[in-house]
Structure 1
Amino acid sequence: MKLKQWVLAALITATTLSVSYSCVADEASLKKAIEAAYPKFQVQSVVKTPYAGLYEVFMGGQIIYTDEKLTFLIAEGRLVDPKTKKDITGERLEELTKIDFNSLPLDQAIKVVKGNGSR
């Protein structure tokens, strides 16, 4: 009985790893194809969306969408979930471009002083 469970666990693990590896391979090859087609732009990331065949590409500070064969590009558009009415593009753009203010160099900040600066 334990042997069957072990074999089943091994098969599930192998299937999961092969599926996740194929997604990474597709994203990596799509990134290379985009960089070859548009050499002036640096592609920061390529992520498969939960929508059939649609990939999110973050490059040049903006999000564009394409399919796995690069047959089309949707730029300057917004992806909106019709059920929740959420702006998926806006949320992802905020996530990808957020800055940790604690990591900013305070000594290089522009300081505004009113009067002589005393309290």
Structure 2
Amino acid sequence: MPHIRRLGFIALGLITLMQGAMAQEEQIRKALSARLPSSVAIDEVTPSPIPGLYEVRSGMSIFYTDPNGDYVIRGDMLDTRRQTNLSQARLAKLSSLDFSKLPLQDAIVSRRGQGTRQLAVFADPDCPYCKQLESMLEQRDDITVYTFLLPVLGPGSLDKAKAIWCSRDRDAAWRAWMQKSQAPTAQPDCDTSALERNLALASKHAIKATPALVYEDGTRVGGAPSAVQLEGQLAQHRLATTDRQKVAP
């Protein structure tokens, strides 16, 4: 009986602590919402590893504040013991996507070799860095690339994206345009709603520039890496995916 009573006191204490933390976070949210520009949406407030300092998430950005929301600190939080940039690690987690849940039916599929390694790319037909990336991908073997057309550079890129998507062979049309600047030929009466879904998907995950790469383990990287960096990242994130599958129940 005393044991049950003790457990009850512990549970009550935990509930009280949780309620107090929630009230504190709500107080910070209200204070910052009233004081910061309306364009800064307060999406999440959580305690940071530093006692008395709170992490505030606004979209895909984070900053820090005191318990009253009187002061704001922008910059990276570093763990000197583990030599870790906690802010960058948090942002990487926020930007990650679940590869298995990507709508691959809305992507152009390019398979090289057996295609066991997988990579998703958000790309604009008029993006020079996307062309640079495509040239590097052409030299890779044993990879399947899912290209989500993301025409964000203007009406011209939208027209090209529609023509590529509506080509008889999307993969061939995409490669011909990106590597040789050969204009695609669109088939009539083509459904281009996939492009609208791609734009909505990018907006949901705050993908604002191309190219954006999503590796098998969900890690997202912006910009075109060098050939050496690309090969290293493919190997690293492939290994992370394999290790995760081994420990999965």
TM-score after normalising by structure 1: 0.83
| Greater RCO (Cα-Cα under 8 Å, separation 6 or more) | 2
Q: CA deviation at 1:60?
A: 4.0
2:56 maps to amino acid: V
Q: CA deviation at 1:94?
A: 0.9
Structure 1: gaps (5+ residues): none
Q: CA deviation at 1:112?
A: 5.1
Match of 1:86 in 2: 84
Q: 1 CA distance for matches of 2:7 and 2:72?
A: 40
Q: CA deviation at 1:104?
A: 3.1
Match of 2:220 in 1: none
Q: 1:100 aligns with which of 92, 98, 105?
A: 98
Q: Secondary structure at the match of 2:91?
A: helix
Alpha carbon RMSD of aligned pairs, Å?
1.8
TM-score after normalising by structure 2: 0.42
Structure 2: gaps (5+ residues): 108-147, 150-169, 177-249
1:52 maps to amino acid: P
Size of the aligned set, in residue pairs, is: 112
Q: 2 CA distance for matches of 1:42 and 1:84?
A: 32
Q: Deviations over 1:43-95 (max 9, x none)?
A: 121110121201000114211011111221111x1100111110000011111
Q: 1 CA distance for matches of 2:45 and 2:23?
A: 11
Q: CA deviation at 1:36?
A: 1.6
Q: 2 CA distance for matches of 1:62 and 1:6?
A: 45
Q: Which has the larger radius of gyration?
A: 2
Q: 1 CA distance for matches of 2:95 and 2:42?
A: 14
Identity %: 27
Q: Secondary structure at the match of 1:36?
A: helix
Q: Is the 8 A contact 2:27 2:68 kept in 1?
A: no
